[in-house]
């Protein structure tokens, strides 16, 4: 019998991750609280389980891709409790929970005979679909050697440390930088558009010059200039990650005044764009202030 891999959480990120594992020939046990989320995968050969415990009783390695720390905790404990009567050895968490939760789960699950593996990702839905996400893996060398070939199907693996929580630290730092770049780019681009500079040309200049960043290189061309706002990550989820990062700074007694300002600005902009809207809509606060929209000009028909 081929090795059974489990996947719990088939949302915007989890579904393409699970699909990549299935396409690589892995025998997949899946669960999502929305039964319809698994339909495409089961049609291709995945086995749908009735709950997290069912996945844990069928698979040695189980991946989690879930939206909040509270949901991760609930599902991880449920899966680990089922490990007594199943083969589960590794619970690989691709979610963003923050280092405190990761360390807590590592201790709790170890007592149940399950290794919790801290492995958050960066790259969004496009990266999940393309297999280009960055995976921040924090676990023992032995676990890394066992899991890296599987994780390599999903994206590029960086072994950032041996202790649970170090992956989460790296992830929330990354997302604070990403959020800051997007907010500042939104201010700058709105001013440029208000001054009459063509939006596409302006972003192209930034990307050819020293102002380029993750927002100008990726988010503006893919989602903001065309006005699609569809990268698959909500304003609320980004705000959650900012709070996790600043909680880490507080716990370590390290002041982050710029980080705190980014959090406050994100909260204010989110109240305008909407908490559940795509995180690229955060630019609308700056655009409203400037009285402009930073969009590509409509294409002229060749007919």
Active site residues: 171
In a 13 Å sphere around the CA of 79, the CA atoms on its Cβ side amount to 37
DSSP-derived pairing of the beta strands 90-93 and 115-118: parallel
**φ, ψ for residue 290, nearest 5 deg:** -85, -15
Distance CA 194, CA 182 (A): 18
Sign of CA dihedral 40, 42, 45, 50: positive
Closest CA to 122 of 73, 179, 77: 179
Task: List all residues 6 or more positions away from 256 whose beta carbon is below 8 Å from its beta carbon.
Answer: 245, 246, 249
Contact 82, 59 (CB under 8 A): no
Among 34, 80, 89, 38, smallest CA distance to 59 is for 89
Give SS3 for 5: strand
Q: Tell me the β-bridge partners of 31.
A: 8
Query: The tokens of 18 are what?
Result: 């699970």
> How far is residue 82's CA from residue 13's CA, in Å, rounded to a whole number?
25
> What's the rounded Cα separation, in Å, for the pair 88 and 277?
36
Could you tell me where the beta strands, DSSP code E, fall in the chain? Answer: 4-8, 27-31, 47-48, 61-64, 90-93, 115-118, 121-122, 133-138, 155-161
Q: How many CA atoms lie within 13 A of 301 on its CB side?
A: 1
């Amino acid at each position: 019998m081929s090795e059974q891999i489990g996947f719990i959480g088939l949302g915007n990120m989890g579904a393409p991750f699970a699909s990549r594992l299935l396409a690589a020939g892995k025998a997949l046990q899946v669960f999502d609280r929305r039964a319809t989320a698994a339909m495409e995968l089961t049609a291709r050969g995945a086995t749908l389980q009735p709950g997290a415990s069912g996945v844990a009783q069928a698979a040695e390695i189980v991946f989690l891709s879930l939206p909040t720390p509270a949901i991760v905790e609930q599902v991880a404990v449920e899966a680990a409790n089922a490990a007594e009567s199943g083969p589960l050895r590794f619970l690989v968490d691709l979610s963003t929970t923050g280092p405190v939760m990761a360390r807590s789960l590592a201790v709790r699950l170890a007592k149940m005979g399950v290794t919790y593996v801290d492995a958050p990702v960066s790259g969004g839905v496009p990266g999940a679909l393309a297999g280009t996400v960055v995976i921040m893996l924090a676990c023992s060398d032995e676990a890394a050697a066992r899991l890296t070939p599987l994780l390599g199907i999903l994206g590029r693996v960086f072994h950032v440390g041996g202790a649970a929580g170090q992956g989460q630290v790296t992830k929330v730092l990354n997302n604070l930088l990403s959020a800051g770049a997007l907010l500042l780019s939104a201010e700058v681009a709105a001013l440029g558009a208000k001054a009459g500079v063509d939006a596409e040309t302006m972003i192209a200049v930034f990307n050819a010059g020293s102002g380029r960043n993750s927002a100008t290189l990726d988010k503006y061309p893919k989602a903001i200039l065309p006005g699609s706002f569809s990268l698959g990550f909500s304003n609320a989820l980004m705000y959650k990650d900012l709070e996790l990062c600043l909680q880490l700074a507080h716990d370590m007694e390290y002041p982050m005044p710029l980080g705190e300002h980014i959090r406050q600005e994100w909260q204010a902009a989110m109240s305008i764009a909407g908490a559940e809207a795509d995180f690229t809509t955060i630019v609308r606060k700056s655009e409203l202030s400037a009285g402009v929209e930073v969009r590509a000009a409509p294409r002229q028909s060749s007919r």
